[in-house]
Structure 1
């Protein structure tokens, strides 16, 4: 795991500034504290930089990036992991390739030379983002993994294209403008973002499963985008009926998940596991312990609220696997005390302080000497674990059931998930005409956030509000979804597709994953998002993902022998930190931040929010008799308001290029 950055200037004789490339690496030192490198190919206007976290091939000199091909036609920088690389490497060696390192990254250069990019991508397994410049074609390829586990941003300036693993890497380049877009601001306030977008004007993300090609023609750069992979469920009529032998799928899931875990245990450093009270992380820990036949280090977050804490079940699983169990117990006020630092790393707003908790956990993982952990992310996406999926299944996917039975199941769902109403579940039904037109209904997973639009719009400063008065955030998101991947699919498949394209990539893998993990130089590997496992999971019939009222049925059965009985029988419990309104100390810590970042002076200086509406939001929150689900929603909105103000402070008000240069000086990273 590492951080990457680079420049492709329009004019070949416009040589990138070497110190700027070094500064771009320095500002993401947290992603790669074990060394840095940069390379410029003369007379191309192209330069790459790299900050390295050593996990595969610990030899600093051998594994140093950027990599150049023997004939200097190709240059590459890579962030992430390619699994099964030893087999690929052996095959390439037999075909005449000569490797200069033992790093997994180098396989791309040799695959590309022999097979071209399209075929190369079919061999790559894992979580990755890389940039590859081909001198003979005068073209740059920006490539992101299939689910978007690893980040990759880019923007166009007057001089050319700048890219990097994080926004701050791009902002370290003096030619890049740092300004909120009004649409981006709107989406930050409602949590759900338009895929491929950011909060900032002109800054884009490479979409998951996509390649952005930048080619120079006659001194100008032409950008094009190509999709090489997508979430492709079968047509609804292609699924077998209820009489299918479910054991086939149970065995298939077990086989593919074990293989995914075994690949992700490959490292030249110790590998631990994150452990919550859910079947996802417990399954990963159980398989890891069985595969290694050693005591695995397990890391658990504990909250000082019985309603949200899962440490009891996690301890039971840790004892069952004889794991070395590390529990980080957090007090209510701890989370807002580290909110500002967390936003520096997430580079987007967060609706719940779970992102802060994950940041603090990665800090502890780093402190005890671990660089790699396996996580349970992706399981709910593949096997329909979220309550929103069950709701959509009851409403749209079980037409054969009597209305009364469907209603009973839905009422039970609402009762068991009342803590999360206003966040994971909408307070009331919300309909987006654009989503209805695109896929036949508005998925329950986006309803909580789209329903915040009427609350968020008045919060935007008047001049910016006018720019988005007629803007429909639901339509903007729906327009990015590939209709060919929705047409003819089962309603549950459509709901899962939308979540994977929006909340998985934009939330769970961002402020719940890479950004808060790599903040402390810690690599998280999610076996459930192995694309071989995912492609198999897509074939599992919907009625085996949600069977009756039991979510993740096929996974539950596949892992039955590993799980404690309490966990095997337990309904999905969304992993969240206690909202601010649940604890006076936490609310006090939030208000301390609000007095600093949401004061009248701070709000007017940033020009993003309407102070009168900000004040009204707090007054509404503190009004006696406000329903709990509304307080949960208001907590999220307040976190978003804080978030945009802190982002302004970090990335607009602060001179980021100067900060990057200062960081390079502190590290002694100089040309």
Structure 2
């Protein structure tokens, strides 16, 4: 797990200038790879590859960039390429690469043998940048679900890339500016796939590659999708569920076993949900020694799952590390640092909690954990999936105002794309209605011309939704948007790697995913029970209390639930939403925004109060991002 960065500007061929541009990009990624740093300059091409390393596999043999002996090919890899030992024996990697003992070293020999089709044989979580000097070809590759990030900016000078946007913004050819359209999307929580918070900077989409070629002194680019989560156009409605239960069990055991492979200890994140508990149960069975489990606890019983997590830890004999978080940890300096690492706004301080947890993991001398992300996406675990198939069953409880809409919403672009408006986007449509009146005049004009809800729908391939079951459509559209744009970024990689810690989501192993899409909807959700097939596959792993438990809202307690948290958030608002900064950023009318916040603190409707909390978090962080990245304000230290 590492950080990668670089650029290609054919008109700049001065070695000192290349080094002067690359070093600051690597400096800002030091948290992703504190163990080692490397670079490779192709001076005559104006091309630079950089890498910061977090050593997990091949501790003494993993220096990057990795080159062929003749120097004509070089690669940087962020992430893990599993099955590397088996592949290495077939490739005779040492014939191409002198330092060939790490998992990343298989990439170049596979490319030399198979060309760009080598990506189909990769298993794992990865972002790869490969340069072929003979063909004058640069290739950026991102894994199937986007577990590992990769961003780029293309302008008249060339292309700049990095594992995080902050590295790109350090390059002299890129001007750090917040994008007004992206601000609207952040306020409503749903980004357009491939976009970022910053003007001119794009995310390489999951399962895609960007090929850049030098022709007649100019760079030409082409983006290609090489993998997608493809649901079938029909399912066998009378299928026996037993083979599917066994199929899930077999593939998940293999995925967890694969992710226990490392030259350092591997722990597990453990909440009270069946996903992380299943991971811990399997890891305990597969590993000879006790597993270290890391759990977040909150000081609000409605949002705390730690009692269930403790039950699972006790059952497996895991050594549990419990981290209790209060307003002191969730607001203030840690909130600001989490925002800087996220590079976008987040609706709930769960991101801050994840930052604290990865910090604790590293303090316990662990560099890697296996996590449960992806289970809800593949097996129909979220309440909005069930609502899309079976209709509204209740008011949503703690989900109302955050993950579920209190009132049904429709949008023509989504009706056209899916035949219905997915329930997962409906609460964010209501959030859009809440913050619309708070905007400044120019932003209101932009919103009158620009439809953020429709733009998200326009970014999704209609060929993957037509003719599919409603549950399949709901799961697919969520995976194409919120899984990558939220759960795997500010809820995953960005908070984990902020403290040099690698997360390995076993459910997102592509062998598990490609099997999961074949499971009939009535086996994924059976008798109204979400993730039924997973529960049955893990019946001998999970405690009965957990096996029978409904989906829980894994969120941090919002500020409105506690006067102390509210006061802590208000202190940050007073510091960041100054008259001068609000005017400079230009997104909001300060008077209207101030009144909204004052009214929010006395709101009595729980769903509306949760939505108000979301709006306040996003508004605060937009100004925080401006201060951190545009104004260049220093980050605070955290005790």
Tell me the TM-score range normalised by the shorter chain.
over 0.9
Question: What is the match of residue 132 of structure 2?
Answer: 134
Could you tell me whether the CA contact under 8 Å between 1:596 and 1:602 is conserved in 2?
no
Of 221, 224, 227, the match for 1:226: 224
How far does residue 430 in structure 1 lie from its aligned partner after superposition?
Answer: 1.4
Question: What is the match of residue 472 of structure 1?
Answer: 451
Question: What is the match of residue 384 of structure 1?
Answer: 380
**TM-score, normalised by the number of residues in structure 2:** 0.97
Structure 2 SS opposite 1:58: coil
Once residues 602 and 143 of structure 1 are traced to their aligned partners in structure 2, the CA distance between those partners, rounded to angstroms, is: 38
Of 536, 554, 557, the match for 2:536: 557
The answer to whether the aligner puts 1:117 opposite 2:112 as a matched pair is no
Question: What is the match of residue 7 of structure 1?
Answer: 7
Q: How does 1:341-352 map to 2 (within 5 A)?
A: 341-352=337-348
Once residues 441 and 197 of structure 2 are traced to their aligned partners in structure 1, the CA distance between those partners, rounded to angstroms, is: 18
The answer to whether the aligner puts 1:278 opposite 2:279 as a matched pair is no
**TM-score, normalised by the number of residues in structure 1:** 0.92
Q: How does 1:320-359 map to 2 (within 5 A)?
A: 320-337=315-332, 338-359=334-355
Structure 2 SS opposite 1:488: coil
Deviations 1:83-103 (A, max 9, x none): 011100011118955552311
How far does residue 14 in structure 1 lie from its aligned partner after superposition?
Answer: 5.7
Once residues 155 and 655 of structure 1 are traced to their aligned partners in structure 2, the CA distance between those partners, rounded to angstroms, is: 23
Deviations 1:278-321 (A, max 9, x none): 00000000000100122000000000111111111101100111
Once residues 50 and 456 of structure 1 are traced to their aligned partners in structure 2, the CA distance between those partners, rounded to angstroms, is: 41
How far does residue 156 in structure 1 lie from its aligned partner after superposition?
Answer: 1.7
How far does residue 46 in structure 1 lie from its aligned partner after superposition?
Answer: 0.7
Question: What is the match of residue 421 of structure 1?
Answer: 400
How far does residue 157 in structure 1 lie from its aligned partner after superposition?
Answer: 3.1
Of 285, 288, 304, the match for 1:290: 285
The answer to whether the aligner puts 1:651 opposite 2:632 as a matched pair is no
Once residues 343 and 96 of structure 2 are traced to their aligned partners in structure 1, the CA distance between those partners, rounded to angstroms, is: 40
Question: What is the match of residue 584 of structure 2?
Answer: 605
The answer to whether the aligner puts 1:303 opposite 2:292 as a matched pair is no
Once residues 438 and 258 of structure 2 are traced to their aligned partners in structure 1, the CA distance between those partners, rounded to angstroms, is: 47
Once residues 200 and 251 of structure 2 are traced to their aligned partners in structure 1, the CA distance between those partners, rounded to angstroms, is: 40
Once residues 229 and 501 of structure 1 are traced to their aligned partners in structure 2, the CA distance between those partners, rounded to angstroms, is: 12
Question: What is the match of residue 41 of structure 2?
Answer: 40
Q: Per the alignment, do residues 138 and 468 of structure 1 end up closer, same or farther by CA in structure 2, a change over 3 Å counting?
A: farther
Deviations 1:570-629 (A, max 9, x none): 0011210011100111001000000011122321133232212211221331345x4110
Once residues 255 and 200 of structure 1 are traced to their aligned partners in structure 2, the CA distance between those partners, rounded to angstroms, is: 42
Once residues 321 and 536 of structure 2 are traced to their aligned partners in structure 1, the CA distance between those partners, rounded to angstroms, is: 28
Structure 2 SS opposite 1:550: coil
How far does residue 69 in structure 1 lie from its aligned partner after superposition?
Answer: 1.4
The answer to whether the aligner puts 1:314 opposite 2:315 as a matched pair is no
Q: Which range moves more in the overlay, 32-41 or 269-278?
A: 32-41
Deviations 1:389-447 (A, max 9, x none): 0100113xxxxxxxxxxxxxx334x3xx4112010111211111100011101100111
Could you tell me whether the CA contact under 8 Å between 1:332 and 1:583 is conserved in 2?
no
Once residues 540 and 455 of structure 1 are traced to their aligned partners in structure 2, the CA distance between those partners, rounded to angstroms, is: 38
Task: Give unpaired runs (5+ residues) of structure 1.
Answer: 396-409, 660-671
Q: Which range moves more in the overlay, 515-524 or 469-478?
A: 469-478
Question: What is the match of residue 554 of structure 2?
Answer: 575
Question: What is the match of residue 245 of structure 2?
Answer: 250
How far does residue 50 in structure 1 lie from its aligned partner after superposition?
Answer: 0.7
Question: What is the match of residue 206 of structure 2?
Answer: 208
Q: Which range moves more in the overlay, 8-17 or 641-650?
A: 8-17
Structure 1 SS opposite 2:148: coil
Q: Per the alignment, do residues 523 and 557 of structure 1 end up closer, same or farther by CA in structure 2, a change over 3 Å counting?
A: same
Q: How does 1:392-431 map to 2 (within 5 A)?
A: 392-395=388-391, 410-412=392-394, 414=395, 417-431=396-410
Structure 2 SS opposite 1:30: helix
Question: What is the match of residue 607 of structure 2?
Answer: 629
Structure 2 SS opposite 1:419: helix
Deviations 1:53-100 (A, max 9, x none): 0001111xx321111112222111110000011100011118955552
Question: What is the match of residue 442 of structure 2?
Answer: 463
Could you tell me whether the CA contact under 8 Å between 2:142 and 2:149 is conserved in 1?
yes
Question: What is the match of residue 433 of structure 1?
Answer: 412
Once residues 13 and 24 of structure 2 are traced to their aligned partners in structure 1, the CA distance between those partners, rounded to angstroms, is: 21
Once residues 331 and 575 of structure 1 are traced to their aligned partners in structure 2, the CA distance between those partners, rounded to angstroms, is: 16
Question: What is the match of residue 405 of structure 1?
Answer: none
Once residues 488 and 142 of structure 1 are traced to their aligned partners in structure 2, the CA distance between those partners, rounded to angstroms, is: 32
Once residues 606 and 42 of structure 1 are traced to their aligned partners in structure 2, the CA distance between those partners, rounded to angstroms, is: 39
Q: Per the alignment, do residues 96 and 29 of structure 1 end up closer, same or farther by CA in structure 2, a change over 3 Å counting?
A: closer
Question: What is the match of residue 84 of structure 1?
Answer: 83
Could you tell me whether the CA contact under 8 Å between 1:127 and 1:149 is conserved in 2?
yes
Higher relative contact order (Cα pairs below 8 Å, separated by 6+ residues): 1
What's the RMSD between the two structures over aligned residues? 1.5
Question: What is the match of residue 479 of structure 2?
Answer: 500
Q: Which range moves more in the overlay, 445-454 or 460-469?
A: 460-469
Task: Give unpaired runs (5+ residues) of structure 2.
Answer: none
Deviations 1:171-223 (A, max 9, x none): 11121011112111111111110000011111100000000111122222122
Structure 1 SS opposite 2:3: strand
Q: Which range moves more in the overlay, 524-533 or 609-618?
A: 609-618
Could you tell me whether the CA contact under 8 Å between 1:128 and 1:144 is conserved in 2?
yes
Question: What is the match of residue 19 of structure 1?
Answer: 20
Q: Which range moves more in the overlay, 348-357 or 99-108?
A: 99-108
Once residues 598 and 458 of structure 2 are traced to their aligned partners in structure 1, the CA distance between those partners, rounded to angstroms, is: 36
Question: What is the match of residue 157 of structure 1?
Answer: 155
Structure 1 SS opposite 2:393: helix
Q: Which range moves more in the overlay, 328-337 or 250-259?
A: 328-337
Once residues 373 and 94 of structure 1 are traced to their aligned partners in structure 2, the CA distance between those partners, rounded to angstroms, is: 28
How far does residue 648 in structure 1 lie from its aligned partner after superposition?
Answer: 0.4
Of 121, 129, 146, the match for 1:148: 146
Of 515, 518, 541, the match for 1:539: 518
How far does residue 241 in structure 1 lie from its aligned partner after superposition?
Answer: 1.9
